[in-house]
Structure 1
């Protein structure tokens, strides 16, 4: 996820027929696009988007546009396409230029409200008690950020993964995961999960795998400073070069953290080289 607001999106196209569109009055106000008419839901979604913006502002945003149906469409720097549906019952999809595709379901989709898009970040509110899910396309894939507002929220969150035909998903030794195609080649990687509380302190978290369901466990409780933000970040792999960037980026992040440096964002290795070399004060 001190907390400040505002996600900066390279380009947001607002084109929803019948949608409620609130353009920002100042650079600090979010642009909200939604078909949800309940003002309290929109307000809750906006607050959740601002919370996740504070902890994910190191990731490079993708250029997004919003379809007539309310889906968010984004293209990564490698030409992959990320589609985030307005209906939480539908899956978030990632498609590569070669035709490979994978998808993940929204945890608690049957409980969630329809999407509210805040500055390009799609928020599903009340996916469970005291829980919202914010989905943010990035230049390398997509982040699915879980915001936990109190101790009544669940401690585990299930992302159902639809892998490429003949493929599979596997956990990695660093705590992350990888989606493999039928040939055993990486189609996407999921970074080592992290979770942080309102004070910026790490909250224990991990992935568990049950078939093709990737479960993120977040060990929050009565002594946790809320809100907590937990993040499984997905990177779409396009060939060996992209895989190299992801692997080196994770290795660099690990080295900095082991040597007392601050690194809480995910992205290509050059981003870590620029942003992680800041001693923890």
Structure 2
């Protein structure tokens, strides 16, 4: 015997179901029995939701819990500082290093869940519980690599299954291969990790991103087999000094020629290791698509991180 209690796979599933069921009950009970004035006086419900998220989320490490000062949780992870106000009306502010010094950006909580002010769980998760008895919630975490993860807890089939995210001064874009970035007016960009969603049985739920105007929406597609609550999330990845290259409209038109595409790749390859023989063909394809984009032609933007050489077509 090694001193550990053996739990069968069946028992593990039953344990998970009990945890998720009790968490849903905690959220609903909190919404109906705890007044907003007293919501910040206990972390029991926040800890329950944080545990639910930890069960559902991909294997990642959280940063050390931050400091709560004047109604804001300030957390540092490497070169990234995240400030999460407990006021549900205020945006998250993240400051990170970049090639020009520091980049500061804000992220709004999704409007689709009407939430109370936040409560800080013991692990540093800031939980914003719904104002009704739906079991819905929004939770904000800082990961140990500095990423900002915003989870939505979908309490039931009648709850919202689409959630929009805005960054002031930034526009979201999606590549043909699915990657998403927010690009600022002055050229900074922030990658967003691929979306995920997990149901109460630990099963993946279909999910995707859509861009509507200046918002990035995560769409969760449940079916008859989905067990609630469901946890879904996008994560903003602050990579510090990252670099991207945007072509002008004339350059975008020019690189439809293979020799010009190879020349532009050589410029990009000075910053990022990439094979121009294959990348040149990718540039030509995207340049031709950019020329045909409607209602206006677009310009090519090459990213250096997290995946070097992904091409986005941005407004010129």
Give the TM-score taking structure 1 as reference length.
0.66
1:126 corresponds to which of 130, 137, 151: 130
Q: CA deviation at 1:46?
A: 2.6
Distance 1:154 1:110 in 2: 7
Q: CA deviation at 1:202?
A: 1.5
Asked if the contact 1:82/1:141 (under 8 Å) is kept, the reply is: no
Q: 2:90 maps to what in 1? A: 90
Evaluate the alpha carbon distance shift between residue 99 and residue 88 of structure 1 in structure 2; reply closer, same or farther with a 3 A threshold: same
Distance 2:129 2:188 in 1: 35
Distance 2:139 2:163 in 1: 13
Q: 1:246 maps to what in 2? A: 306
Give the TM-score taking structure 2 as reference length.
0.60
Distance 2:219 2:231 in 1: 12
Asked if the contact 1:198/1:227 (under 8 Å) is kept, the reply is: yes
Please say if 1:159 is aligned against 2:165: yes
Asked if the contact 1:115/1:123 (under 8 Å) is kept, the reply is: yes
Asked if the contact 1:193/1:230 (under 8 Å) is kept, the reply is: yes
Distance 2:181 2:212 in 1: 14
Please say if 1:111 is aligned against 2:117: no
Question: How large is the Cα RMSD of the aligned pairs?
Answer: 3.1
Distance 2:42 2:178 in 1: 34
Larger Rg: 2
CA displacement, residues 227-271 of structure 1 (integer Å, 9 cap, x when unaligned): 2110101101322499766327x9xxxxxxxxxxxxxxxxxxxxx
Evaluate the alpha carbon distance shift between residue 40 and residue 202 of structure 1 in structure 2; reply closer, same or farther with a 3 A threshold: farther
CA displacement, residues 108-165 of structure 1 (integer Å, 9 cap, x when unaligned): 38821111111200000016743101111012311111111211211111112223xx
Q: 1:13 maps to what in 2? A: none
Q: 1:173 maps to what in 2? A: 176
Distance 2:42 2:211 in 1: 32
Distance 2:43 2:157 in 1: 23
Distance 1:106 1:127 in 2: 15
Asked if the contact 2:127/2:138 (under 8 Å) is kept, the reply is: yes
Distance 1:85 1:141 in 2: 17
Any residues of structure 2 matched to 1:1-281 within 5 Å, and which? 2=13, 3=16, 37-38=38-39, 42-56=43-57, 58-77=59-78, 79-97=79-97, 98-108=101-111, 111-118=114-121, 119-126=123-130, 129-138=134-143, 139-163=145-169, 167-186=170-189, 188-240=190-242, 246-247=306-307
Q: CA deviation at 1:181?
A: 3.3
> By percentage of residues, which structure has more helix?
2
